[in-house]
């Protein structure tokens, strides 16, 4: 019995063609069922009558392709692959074959020839990650996405700036925008102040894994290991005190709403700034409230739940938006932070106590002890930028003992000491003037009283 193979596409042909040959269905009905033309169905009927069901297979099956590589080209590529271009990846090897040997073949052909030789690829291709669409939050204030975008916002009229922004996840409305020279602590603290004062405290913030917002270093101190978590950054402490959760995204696609916002702003905001001839950072920052109102009116959408979940910010919000440091009070009741210092007030002395020093967003310097402000220094007269004077991780990191430098060996030609040595380390020698005077005093007392005294005993003790 003859055995032949039909593809899935050809599997229905024998029954329908046989029915058309016997007259049970018409040729047009068979063509409609097989999605073929009438001419091709007539051709299949003649093959079926002459050869049977095996005549319905594709005529090109088992025959070599007319577009295959010539054997000489295939052998040459495989020879170069194993000799001259060993270790080249598929794309690089394709470029070399085209540029240096005049062989124009596709990268996929190079890959097939490499697999025929059993050579592993230089870099394994990872399959695309399966992602799942996240449903937006239902109420205003439930989740706020934050991010920064460096761009030539002023084009050639001004410097390249970093635009920090916050967008509501439920409505897609812009909540705050801030121009900064770079993505820094001062910029995010200003953005938080604008967001909290204008709208309130959200339940959570969603951003990237920037080291200003979350710890992304591998250092764990001993207290952190015992606690099972790393201590937060300066901005992380601010969010903890305000009861705001921070969700760190692991990919730009995870916070796609604010990423799409940057694509819109890099078109619309740049055009609006150009239309108004704005060329300075101050003028651009002053225009942002007008742009935000127009943007939200055009593109904002109503939330699924009308009741917002914003919370009222605390009265001491300015005290919370700060960088914090632990310092020891000096004897004159002052604490120093870099070149600045704070005088602690009050009748008592805080010398030797450890207090918390906070540098606020407006430049003021405050000293707190047991949660109460004990001293303050006004803001500098010139422009102030809030930046960490020392990262929290460096404060937590135990200081490594510095190796003691070897004592320099005096040169052979150095002059002799003018006097004899009187010490060996921490103990004085018997030739020290104080030791000689003490021995003389002990001998004088022994002669006067007739008792024997010990050098290490207190006066009045005797043997």
Lowest mean pLDDT across 175-189, 241-255, 274-288, 294-308: 241-255
Q: What digits encode the pLDDT tens for the residues 198-217?
A: 999 999 999 998 888 988 88
pTM listed for this prediction: 0.62
Residues 6+ apart with CB under 8 A from 193: 317, 321, 361
Say yes or no to pLDDT of 460 above 50. Answer: no
Say yes or no to pLDDT of 394 above 60. Answer: no
**Residue (of 365, 348, 368) closest to 356 by Cα position:** 368
Q: Give the residues across from 177 on adjacent strands.
A: 165
Lowest mean pLDDT across 13-22, 52-61, 194-203, 304-313: 52-61
Encode burial over 337-355: b for 16+ CB neighbours within 10 A, e otherwise: beeebbebeeeeebeebeb
Q: How far is the C-alpha of 200 from the C-alpha of 252, rounded, in Å?
A: 26
Q: How far is the C-alpha of 317 from the C-alpha of 86, rounded, in Å?
A: 64
Edge-to-edge strands, sheet with 372-377: 322-328, 354-360, 365-369, 372-377
DSSP for 59-75, please give it.
TTTTSPPTTSPPHHHHH
H helix and E strand count, the chain: 14, 13
Q: Give the mean model confidence (pLDDT) for residues 44-68.
A: 85
Say yes or no to pLDDT of 396 above 50. Answer: no
- Token pair listed for 423: 């010490």
How big is the chain by its Cα radius of gyration, in Å? 42
Q: What digits encode the pLDDT tens for the residues 62-114?
A: 788 888 889 999 999 999 999 989 889 899 999 999 999 999 999 999 999 99
Q: What digits encode the pLDDT tens for the residues 116-166?
A: 999 988 877 778 777 778 889 999 999 999 999 999 999 999 999 999 999
Q: Largest Cα–Cα distance of the chain, in whole Å?
A: 152
Cβ distance 52 to 21 under 8 Å?
Answer: no
Cβ distance 292 to 182 under 8 Å?
Answer: no
Question: 430: buried, middle or exposed (CB in 10 Å: 19+, 13-18, 0-12)?
Answer: exposed
Lowest mean pLDDT across 48-52, 236-240, 328-332: 48-52
Q: How far is the C-alpha of 410 from the C-alpha of 393, rounded, in Å?
A: 42
Cβ distance 289 to 330 under 8 Å?
Answer: no
Work out the angle at residue 132's Cα, subtended by the Cα atoms of residues 126 and 134, and round it to the nearest 5 degrees.
140
What pLDDT shows up at residue 458?
A: 47
What pLDDT shows up at residue 4?
A: 74
């Amino acid at each position: 019995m003859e055995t032949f193979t039909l593809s899935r596409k050809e599997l229905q042909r024998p029954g329908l063609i046989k029915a058309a040959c016997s007259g049970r269905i018409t040729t047009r009905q068979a063509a409609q069922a097989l999605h073929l033309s009438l001419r091709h169905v007539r051709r299949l009927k003649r093959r079926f009558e002459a050869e049977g069901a095996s005549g319905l297979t594709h005529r090109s099956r088992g025959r070599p392709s007319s577009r295959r590589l010539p054997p000489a080209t295939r052998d040459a590529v495989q020879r170069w692959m194993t000799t001259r271009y060993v270790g080249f990846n598929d794309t690089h090897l394709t470029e070399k074959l085209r540029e240096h040997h005049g062989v124009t073949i596709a990268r996929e052909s190079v890959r097939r020839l490499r697999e025929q030789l059993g050579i592993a690829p230089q870099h394994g291709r990872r399959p695309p990650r399966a992602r799942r669409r996240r449903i937006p939050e239902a109420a205003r204030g439930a989740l706020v996405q934050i991010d920064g975008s460096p761009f030539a916002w002023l084009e050639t009229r001004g410097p390249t700036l970093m635009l920090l922004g916050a967008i509501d996840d439920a409505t897609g409305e812009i909540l705050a925008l801030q121009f900064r020279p770079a993505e820094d602590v001062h910029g995010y603290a200003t953005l938080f102040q604008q967001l909290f004062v204008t709208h309130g405290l959200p339940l959570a913030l969603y951003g990237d894994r920037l080291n200003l917002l979350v710890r992304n270093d591998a250092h764990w101190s001993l207290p952190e290991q015992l606690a099972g978590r790393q201590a937060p950054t300066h901005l992380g402490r601010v969010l903890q005190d305000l009861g705001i959760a921070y969700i760190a995204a692991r990919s730009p696609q995870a916070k796609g709403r604010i990423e799409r916002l940057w694509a819109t702003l890099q078109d619309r905001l740049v055009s609006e700034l150009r239309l108004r001839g704005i060329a300075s950072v101050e003028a651009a920052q002053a225009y942002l409230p007008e742009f935000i109102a127009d943007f939200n009116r055009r593109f904002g959408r109503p939330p699924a739940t009308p009741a917002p979940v914003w919370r009222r910010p605390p009265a001491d919000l300015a005290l919370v938006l700060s960088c914090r440091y632990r310092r020891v009070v000096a004897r004159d009741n002052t604490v120093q932070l870099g070149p600045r210092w704070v005088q602690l007030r009050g009748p008592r002395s805080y010398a030797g106590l450890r207090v918390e020093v906070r540098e606020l967003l407006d430049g003021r310097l405050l000293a707190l002890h047991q949660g109460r402000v004990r001293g303050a220094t006004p803001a500098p007269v010139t422009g102030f930028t809030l930046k960490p004077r020392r990262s929290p991780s460096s404060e937590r990191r135990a200081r490594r003992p510095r190796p003691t430098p070897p004592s320099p060996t005096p040169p052979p030609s150095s002059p002799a000491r003018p006097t004899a040595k009187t010490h060996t380390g921490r103990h004085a020698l018997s030739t020290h003037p104080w030791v000689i005077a003490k021995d003389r005093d002990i001998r004088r007392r022994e002669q006067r009283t007739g008792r024997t005294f010990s050098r290490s005993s207190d006066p009045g003790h005797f043997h």
